[in-house]
């Protein structure tokens, strides 16, 4: 697996940027991310005042509003520690778009510094922690959905599957057109509900047809969208954030 950037040695401390969806809907995924990092001997610092990364406003074209939301995050990470984000979507916003969002402003250098320290969780576990896993669960067929932002903005199509591949009792099944979007896309699902619904129907069918008993993803927006649709279909396939899945099978 070719790294997409230069990675530092394993640090003693990191920050965790928890994301809105984890905070509001999947807090256990955030706690499991902390547990995975702490098990590797890393102290995790969670700034209490963090809110949204600004992506919803940014992708809707409201850059001034996005800048105001993002500005509130910049001062939360004063120490030169890595910032771990259990979401390729929020990670992509912070790493790729913060420098452009703040270009020409007094916060430009601060935004570039924050962006340079952003790591998506599976990326950090693979390339920095070089995590080794011992599977303690039973046999299971699992599908992995990698979000568009993780895949295309952060170049992380392989890190989630690499972690799942270490689980000896897990068969990672490949769905057709695995690189396709699930249809969530943040406000895309609101602006284009019929298109979004058709996309998640295709994705749900592909996961079921692959024979998956479970699916995992590193993005909670995708988890809500695919998991909600599968539940609406009456499917037996359940979804889980990859942090929770890894912790559950290895603790």
DSSP sequence for 150-176:
IIIIS--SSHHHHHHTT-TTEEEEPPT
- Same domain for 98 and 189? no
Burial class of residue 25 in the structure, from the number of CB atoms within 10 Å of its CB (0-12 exposed, 13-18 middle, 19+ buried): middle
- Same domain for 192 and 153? yes
In the predicted model, residues of the chain with pLDDT beneath 50 are none
Last residue of a domain, one of 103, 127, 151: 127
Please report the pLDDT score of residue 3 as a whole number: 59
Please report the pLDDT score of residue 187 as a whole number: 84
Residue 5 lies in a domain: no
Residue 40 lies in a domain: yes
> How many independent structural domains does the chain possess?
2
153-211: per-residue pLDDT in tens? 999 999 999 999 999 999 999 999 999 999 998 888 889 999 999 999 999 999 999 99
Residue 39 lies in a domain: yes
Please report the pLDDT score of residue 172 as a whole number: 98
Give the CATH number, domain containing residue 160.
Answer: 3.40.50
Residue 113 lies in a domain: yes
- Same domain for 148 and 63? no
DSSP sequence for 52-74:
--SHHHHHTT-HHHHHHHHHHHH
Last residue of a domain, one of 102, 127, 152: 127
Q: Which helix (H) or strand (E) is 240 found in, with range?
A: strand 238-241
- Same domain for 216 and 118? no
Residue 6 lies in a domain: no
Tokens 């920050």 found at: 15
Residue 90 lies in a domain: yes
Domain range enclosing 145: 140-250
- Same domain for 57 and 153? no
- Same domain for 73 and 145? no
Q: Which residues pair with 144 in a beta bridge?
A: 216
Please report the pLDDT score of residue 4 as a whole number: 62
- Same domain for 105 and 172? no
Last residue of a domain, one of 100, 127, 154: 127
Cα–Cα distance, 139 to 167 (Å, whole number): 10
Q: Which residues pair with 115 in a beta bridge?
A: none
- Same domain for 44 and 105? yes
Residue 82 lies in a domain: yes
- Same domain for 123 and 29? yes
Radius of gyration of the chain (CA): 18
pTM: 0.95
Q: Output the CA–CA distances (angstroms, integers) from residue 156 to 9, 23, 42, 138, in the order listed.
A: 19, 23, 22, 27
């Amino acid at each position: 697996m070719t790294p997409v950037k230069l990675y530092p040695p394993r640090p003693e401390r990191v920050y965790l940027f928890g994301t809105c969806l984890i905070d509001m809907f999947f807090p256990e995924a955030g706690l499991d991310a902390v547990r995975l990092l702490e098990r590797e001997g890393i102290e995790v610092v969670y700034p209490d005042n963090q809110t949204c990364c600004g992506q919803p406003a940014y992708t809707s074209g409201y850059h001034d509003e996005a800048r105001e939301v993002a500005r509130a995050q910049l001062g939360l990470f004063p120490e030169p520690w890595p910032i771990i984000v259990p979401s390729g979507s929020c990670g992509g916003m912070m790493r790729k778009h913060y420098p452009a969002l703040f270009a020409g402003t007094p916060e430009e250098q601060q935004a570039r510094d924050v962006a340079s320290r952003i790591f998506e969780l599976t990326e950090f576990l693979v390339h920095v922690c070089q995590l080794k896993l011992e599977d303690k669960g039973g046999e299971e067929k699992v599908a992995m959905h990698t979000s568009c932002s993780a895949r295309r903005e952060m170049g992380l199509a392989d890190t989630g599957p690499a972690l799942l591949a270490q689980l000896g009792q897990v068969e990672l099944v490949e769905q057709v057109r695995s690189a396709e979007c699930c249809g969530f896309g943040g406000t895309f699902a609101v602006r284009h509900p019929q298109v979004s619904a058709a996309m998640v129907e295709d994705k749900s069918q592909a996961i079921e047809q692959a024979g998956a008993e479970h699916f995992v993803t590193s993005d909670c927006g995708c988890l809500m969208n695919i998991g909600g649709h599968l539940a609406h279909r009456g499917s037996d396939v359940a979804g889980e954030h990859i942090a929770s899945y890894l912790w559950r099978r290895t603790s």
